[in-house]
Structure 1
Amino acid sequence: MARLFAFVFLLQIAMAVVALISCLSAEPEQIRRLPRLVWAVVIVLIPVAGPILWFLAGRVRPGRGAAGAPRRPLAPDDNPDFLRTLDSDKARRDREQFERWEEDLRRREEKLRRDEDPKNPELRNGDA
């Protein structure tokens, strides 16, 4: 039973330390509801509930952004500006070039088939 109490005590201390570091290192726009100093006092003086309150109500959750703050995309495919550039002129030219290459490849393969098939004179004459 003493080990359980020691474990819970160490867990409480660890939570308080992590919450206090998070609170003191947070940017001002990442702190909600109360001033930083009040949050630090709540974390230190209220044993288990203080750190839990800080993580649930005191800081802006990662990925949500502060109220009024511009949100940054997390990945290029989430960025609307990046997605618009995919259909730019360069992308259109690249698609056209790719289509020309595919058509050229089809023509060359067809020519090779005609040249390799001596039994079928129709293919040799290009009537197919």
Structure 2
Amino acid sequence: MGRYLPIMMMALLAIYCVVEVAQAPTYAVRRMPRWLWATAIICLPLLGPLGWLILGRPNRASRSDSSIGRPKAPDDDNDFLRGL
């Protein structure tokens, strides 16, 4: 069992990273397109997942879209309340 543990851990890490790449928004992935990250994760057993976790994963800066910093509900928005 001890001999297979590193292989199982690498396989689980690769599966986790492939699922995360598939769920990441296209605009938020850094450095390379999503399809290239998925290919790298599958073809490069340890370097691909580590590269994704360190370099490609979306962070707050890459996820910045127009909804960040905006009020969550209409009654929190002063401009909306002024227009009533």
Tell me the TM-score normalised to structure 1 length.
0.49
Counterpart residue number, 1:11? 9
> How many residues are treated as equivalent by the alignment?
72
Instruction: Spell out the pairing of 1:117-128 with structure 2 (5 A cutoff).
Output: none
User: 65, 69, 78: which is aligned to 1:69?
Assistant: 65
Counterpart residue number, 2:58? 60
In structure 2, stretches of 5+ residues that fail to align are 70-75, 77-84
Instruction: Spell out the pairing of 1:32-111 with structure 2 (5 A cutoff).
Output: 32-61=30-59, 64-66=60-62, 69-70=65-66, 72=68
Give the whole-Å Cα distance in 1 for the aligned partners of 2:3 and 2:35: 30
Give the whole-Å Cα distance in 2 for the aligned partners of 1:40 and 1:34: 10
Whether the aligned pair in 2 keeps the contact of 1:65 and 1:71 (CA below 8 Å) is no
Counterpart residue number, 2:18? 20
Distance change in 2, residues 1:5/1:30 (3 Å): farther
Q: CA deviation at 1:72?
A: 3.3
- Give CA-to-partner distance per residue, 1:16-49, whole Å, 9 cap, x none: 0000000011111221111111101100011111
Alignment root-mean-square deviation, CA = 2.3
Give the whole-Å Cα distance in 2 for the aligned partners of 1:47 and 1:30: 24
Q: Greater helix share, 1 or 2?
A: 1
Tell me the TM-score normalised to structure 2 length.
0.71
Query: Percent identity of the aligned residues?
Result: 23
Superposed structure 1 runs of 4+ greater than 4 Å apart? none
